[in-house]
């Protein structure tokens, strides 16, 4: 059901070099609508998270701020900013990989879905080990670069 799009998100996240390797994919009726990766470092924009960029691209493509009937596949549990954007965009289903115990705003640190009384359907832990490894490797490499 979600394998192909989640694998696409994971593969695109692996290509991210100078930012936290996160990718978000939005689909509708099993068709790819948008795909984006984190670009905070590249753009020097605080809000250039994968989820925000994917939502903006989907808004343009569908010519609507309402993304009803859409699904999002993201490699990391959304932070509060991104979670609120997902909820307010009216995306129907969210699939995510790694849980973010510090900043996750869907199930981990806080639950904005419940707070907003949202109808967003959520499934976390998709390809969790692969997503966790990608993030762990990135931060390990970052620490090693800073030591050198």
Residue-level pLDDT at 141: 86
For 11-64, the pLDDT digits (tens) are: 999 999 889 999 999 999 999 999 999 999 999 999 999 999 999 999 999 999
12 part of the active site? no
Q: Which of 12, 31, 42, 51 is catalytic?
A: 51
For 105-144, the pLDDT digits (tens) are: 999 999 999 999 999 999 999 999 999 999 999 999 888 8
- CA dist., res. 47 & res. 22, Å (int): 14
In angstroms, the Cα distances linking 67 to 77, 92, 118 are: 19, 8, 14
Residue-level pLDDT at 143: 84
């Amino acid at each position: 059901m979600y394998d192909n799009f989640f694998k696409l998100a994971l593969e695109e996240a692996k290509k991210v070099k100078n930012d936290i390797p996160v990718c978000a994919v939005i689909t509708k009726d099993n068709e790819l609508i948008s795909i984006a990766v984190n670009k905070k470092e590249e753009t020097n924009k605080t809000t250039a998270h994968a989820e925000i960029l994917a939502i903006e691209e989907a808004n343009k493509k569908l010519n609507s701020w309402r993304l009803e009937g859409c699904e999002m596949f993201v490699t990391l549990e959304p932070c509060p900013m991104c979670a609120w954007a997902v909820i307010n965009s009216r995306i129907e289903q969210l699939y995510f990989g790694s849980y973010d115990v510090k900043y996750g705003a869907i199930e981990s640190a806080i639950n904005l879905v419940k707070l907003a009384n949202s109808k967003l359907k959520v499934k976390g832990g998709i390809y969790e080990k692969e997503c966790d490894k990608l993030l762990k490797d990135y931060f390990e490499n970052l620490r090693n670069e800073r030591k050198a």
